[in-house]
A = this chain, B = another copy of it.
Amino acid sequence: MDGTVAQQEKPLYIKLNAKDNVAIIVNAGGLPQGTLFPCGLELREPIPEGHKVALTDLNQDEPIIRYGEIIGYAVRPIKKGSWIDESSVMLPTPPNLDELPLANNVPELQPPLTGYTLEGYRNEDGSVGTKNILGISTSVQCVAGVLDYAVQRIKAEILPKYPNVDDVIALNHNYGCGVAINAPEAKIPVRTLQNLATHPNFGGEVLIVGLGCEKLLPEKLVPAGAAATVISLQDQPGFSSMVETIMAAAEERLARLNRRQRVTCPVTDLVVGLQCGGSDAFSGVTANPAVGYAADLLVRAGATVLFSEVTEVRDAIHLLTPRAVNEQVGQALIQEMKWYDHYLQLGEADRSANPAPGNKKGGLANVVEKSLGSIAKSGTSPIASVLPPGEKAKQKGLIYAATPASDFICGTLQLASGIHVQIFTTGRGTPYGLAMVPVVKVATRNSLANQWPDLIDVNAGKIATGEATIEAIGWEIFRLILDVASGRKQTWAEHWGLHNALCLFNPAPVT
- Complex partner residue of A404 from B178, B405, B433, CB under 8 angstroms: B178
Contact B356 A237 (CB under 8 A): no
Per the bound structure, the CA–CA distance linking A356 and B142 in Å amounts to: 13
Contact B356 A430 (CB under 8 A): no
> Knowing A178-B407, A183-B347, A185-B347 touch, does A432 contact B142 (C-beta < 8 A)?
yes
Interface size for A (C-beta < 8 A) is 82
Q: A390 in the interface, Cβ–Cβ < 8 Å?
A: no
* B-chain residues with CB within 8 Å of residue A356 when the two chains form the complex: 177, 213-215
Q: A212 in the interface, Cβ–Cβ < 8 Å?
A: yes
With CB as the reference atom, state the residue of chain B lying closest to A450: B237
Per the bound structure, the CA–CA distance linking A343 and B180 in Å amounts to: 11
Closest chain-B Cβ to A87's Cβ sits at a distance in Å of: 17
* B-chain residues with CB within 8 Å of residue A362 when the two chains form the complex: 213
Q: A174 in the interface, Cβ–Cβ < 8 Å?
A: yes
Which residues 313-354 of A have a CB within 8 angstroms of B? 343-344, 346-350, 352-354
Q: A358 in the interface, Cβ–Cβ < 8 Å?
A: yes
Main secondary structure of the interface of A (DSSP, over half): loop
* B-chain residues with CB within 8 Å of residue A430 when the two chains form the complex: 142, 211, 213
Contact B212 A429 (CB under 8 A): yes
- Complex partner residue of A511 from B405, B408, B433, B453, CB under 8 angstroms: B405
Interface digits, A388-408 against B, CB 8 Å rule (1 contact, 0 not)?
000000000000000011111
Contact B347 A213 (CB under 8 A): no
> Knowing A311-B511, A357-B215, A428-B212 touch, does A406 contact B239 (C-beta < 8 A)?
no
Interface digits, A344-374 against B, CB 8 Å rule (1 contact, 0 not)?
1011111011101111011000000000000
Contact B349 A182 (CB under 8 A): yes
Closest chain-B Cβ to A457's Cβ sits at a distance in Å of: 12
Closest chain-B Cβ to A447's Cβ sits at a distance in Å of: 11
Which residues 452-486 of A have a CB within 8 angstroms of B? 452-455
Per the bound structure, the CA–CA distance linking A245 and B350 in Å amounts to: 37
Contact A503 B174 (CB under 8 A): yes
- Complex partner residue of A239 from B149, B361, B455, B500, CB under 8 angstroms: B455
Contact A212 B358 (CB under 8 A): yes
Q: A143 in the interface, Cβ–Cβ < 8 Å?
A: yes
With CB as the reference atom, state the residue of chain B lying closest to A347: B509
- Complex partner residue of A143 from B182, B406, B431, CB under 8 angstroms: B431
Q: A507 in the interface, Cβ–Cβ < 8 Å?
A: yes
Per the bound structure, the CA–CA distance linking A105 and B462 in Å amounts to: 74
Closest chain-B Cβ to A17's Cβ sits at a distance in Å of: 27
5 new A-B contacts, CB < 8 A, other than A239-B455, A505-B510, are A145-B493, A174-B408, A177-B406, A182-B349, A238-B454
Listed by A's residue number, 12 A-B pairs whose Cβ atoms lie within 8 Å are: A142-B407, A149-B497, A213-B428, A234-B358, A234-B428, A239-B431, A239-B492, A242-B431, A346-B509, A347-B509, A349-B509, A406-B511
